[in-house]
Every structure is written in structure tokens, then in C-alpha cells.
Amino acid sequence: MREHLRLSLSEIERLAFDALLSAGFSAAQAGAIADNVTAAERDGCTSHGLYRIPFYLGALANQRCDPQAVPELIVNERAVVHVDAGSGFCPLALRTGLPALTETARRHGIAALAIRRTYNIAALWPEVEQLAASGLVAFAFTGSNASVAPAGGTRPLYGTNPMAFGFPRDGPVPFVFDQASSACARGEIELRRRDGRRLEPGWAIDADGWPTEDPAAALDGAQLPFGGHKGAALALMVELLAGALIGELFSVESSERDVHGIGAPFGGEFLIAIDPGACAAPGQSAIHTARAEQLFERVLAQPGTRLPSARRHAARERHRADGVPVDAELVGRLRARAGSRSGIGKAT
């Protein structure tokens, strides 16, 4: 059992921010990343929490990566907004693009955001949650590194390629899911290797194409899509949207470009936002949130069910009140990186 420290959300955010700032990130880049990492810790998504900070720091070994990049927003009269992330990281590109996407979706009824030239190792649901919290229906798609075999194949080609979806609710938290098109998240395999735990059947194959439950063999082999060829089709769709459509790299090209094995995928993210007011029956007002609640009630009326993200939202309440248990060794390493800036964290 690894030792854990219990940190408050503001301590987590400060630790992430300071570690990044000390490493040469601009305050804007560091602030956006720290916000994403803190949201992940708050919601119990350990593999996208502070665990990711060393990956952000490691990405600097790639000289093309710019930790001080200032993303450039390009808006025209049409409903597709563009952000050139300038070889910086995606959270700041999203901070730059989401307000324009929101405004454009309200004006046209539907809009898209194409983010290019970005390193993206962040959780994907925060952006659809933000869009849905502002009243929009939202999709987000992004590639990553080649790790998933195509349907019938045996070698990594697709990224884990998450697709996130958000729908407004009247309550405090919108409906959100964020699911990899792989059977499990890459970070989950990395965490299980670290913790000496086996994988579930159906998650991966080894370098020879045989099923494996050994995390190390899986990381040398290929992950499998969820649901067979249907999950693989979704992974391919994500490559087409976040790659071919917006003129960006495919996951496998990002991996090939990463000659030093740094691991931070480079490429694009594609988002769609829809204004429900434009989608209601003409002459009638939007009743989408009230209607959605009626459906959610019918889901939850069946014993054993829960809505997507329910576990995440329960963790959110708990962690806001009590703080988050974070791996002590990781906190120690980050604290050393952050230097004198962060003297936080008490043993649990």
C-alpha cells in the first residue's frame, strides 16, 4: 500500500502551478493546466490529476514544445472557430477558444472549435462540462499516442481517442460523459503497472498479438478498443475529426514524431457546441432540460443503474469537503520541483 497525503483542492492547484512555473511554464499555461489537474483530482480521476504533472514537465525535453506559448484565436463570420495553440498545451488553448465557441454557437445555433498545434494530456470532460454548464450541448474529440489496435489488427495505430459529451441540466452539474474508445484509459494501465496490479481481460494484447493481463506486456503491445469493431470505428472517427478534418496529425504520426519517447501527444482537438434554443420546435420554447430529467428519472428507477459521471460527482462532493488523498512520493517529487513555493500537505 502506497503512502498518501491528504491535500485540499487549493493545495493541489498551488502545487501543480508552482511545479510548472518553476519549470519555465508561463503563468497562463501553468494556471490552465493546474486548473485541469485539480478538477481531475477533485473528481477522483487520479490518472489525470497530479500524476500528469511529470508528463507536462517531461514534454519540455521536446524542444518544439513551448511552455510559454500564447494561443492565437481566429474567428470569422462562419461558425467554425480556430485556435493555434502555438505548440503549447491544450488547457490554455481551451481557455482561449471556449468563450468564442460559446458566443458563436449562440449566434449560429451550432458551432465548432478546431484547436491545432497543441500538446494534449489533459482530461477531456472539463471542456464539455463548462460548455454544458453554460447551457450548450457539447462534443469533444481528441487523439493521443498510438496505443490501440484497429479492428482485426494487432499493432498500435489509434490513440485511446476519447469522446466527451455534455448536456445541460437545471441542477448544479450538467450531464457529462468522457470515454476512451479503448477498453480502458492508458493512464489506468500505467497506474496498474506502478501498483503491481493485473489488467482486466479484453483490455490489451501483447507485442505478438496475444491477449494479456500484464500491464508491462500491454504497454509493449497494443490496447484494444471497447466493444470490438464498434469501439474501433469510434476511434477511427476521432482520428478523422481531430486529425484529417482540421489538418492535424494522427495519433500514430504524433508517436512517430516523438523520437525521444517523451510521451506527450501533439496534434489537435475538435469540439462541437449546440444551442438548444435553436433546436426546439419552431415557435416553441426549449424544454430540453426538463425532458432530460424525465429520462434520467426513468434510468434511475431501475435498480442497479447510475448515470455516467455519478461516481465522479460523488468524489467531487467528498473531496471538496475532506481534501484528496494523493500519492506521497509524487507530492514529494513535485514539492521538490516547486522549490520553496509550496510547503504544503500533511500526512494522513
Binding to a second copy (CB under 8 A) within 26-65 occurs at none
Which is closer to a second copy, CB of 193 or CB of 288? Answer: 288
Query: Which residues touch 26 (CB under 8 Å, ≥6 apart)?
Result: 67, 68, 69, 70
Query: Which residues touch 288 (CB under 8 Å, ≥6 apart)?
Result: 167, 168, 276, 279, 280
For the bound state, the minimum distance from the C-beta of residue 268 to a second copy, rounded and expressed in Å, comes to: 10
Cross-strand pairs, 111: 273
Binding to a second copy (CB under 8 A) within 203-262 occurs at 226-231, 233, 236-237, 239-241, 243-247, 250, 252
Cross-strand pairs, 273: 111, 138
Which is closer to a second copy, CB of 170 or CB of 340? Answer: 170
For the bound state, the minimum distance from the C-beta of residue 261 to a second copy, rounded and expressed in Å, comes to: 20
Distance CA 125, CA 39 (A): 10
Nearest CA-CA partner of 81 in 103, 48, 49 = 103
Among 216, 295, 314, 336, binds a second copy (CB under 8 A): 295
Which is closer to a second copy, CB of 268 or CB of 323? Answer: 268
111 part of the interface to a second copy, by CB under 8 A: yes
For the bound state, the minimum distance from the C-beta of residue 179 to a second copy, rounded and expressed in Å, comes to: 5
Among 151, 173, 191, 344, binds a second copy (CB under 8 A): 151
Distance CA 160, CA 183 (A): 9
284 part of the interface to a second copy, by CB under 8 A: yes
Which is closer to a second copy, CB of 29 or CB of 309? Answer: 309
For the bound state, the minimum distance from the C-beta of residue 298 to a second copy, rounded and expressed in Å, comes to: 6
Query: Which residues touch 239 (CB under 8 Å, ≥6 apart)?
Result: 143, 158, 159, 161, 250, 251
Distance CA 98, CA 117 (A): 16
Which is closer to a second copy, CB of 5 or CB of 249? Answer: 249
Catalytic site residue 47?
Answer: yes
φ/ψ (deg, to 5) at 347: -65, 145
Q: Give the SS3 label for residue 297.
A: helix
In the set 11, 22, 41, 48, the catalytic residue is 48
Is residue 93 a contact partner of residue 115, using CB atoms and an 8 Å limit? yes
297 part of the interface to a second copy, by CB under 8 A: no
In the set 188, 239, 248, 269, the catalytic residue is 188
Is residue 165 a contact partner of residue 274, using CB atoms and an 8 Å limit? no
Give, rounded to a whole angstrom, the gap between the first and last alpha carbons of the chain: 13
Span from 29-37, 171-179, 193-201, 329-337 in contact with a second copy (CB under 8 A):
171-179
In the set 47, 103, 108, 253, the catalytic residue is 47
Catalytic site residue 48?
Answer: yes
Question: What is the set of active-site residues?
Answer: 47-48, 188
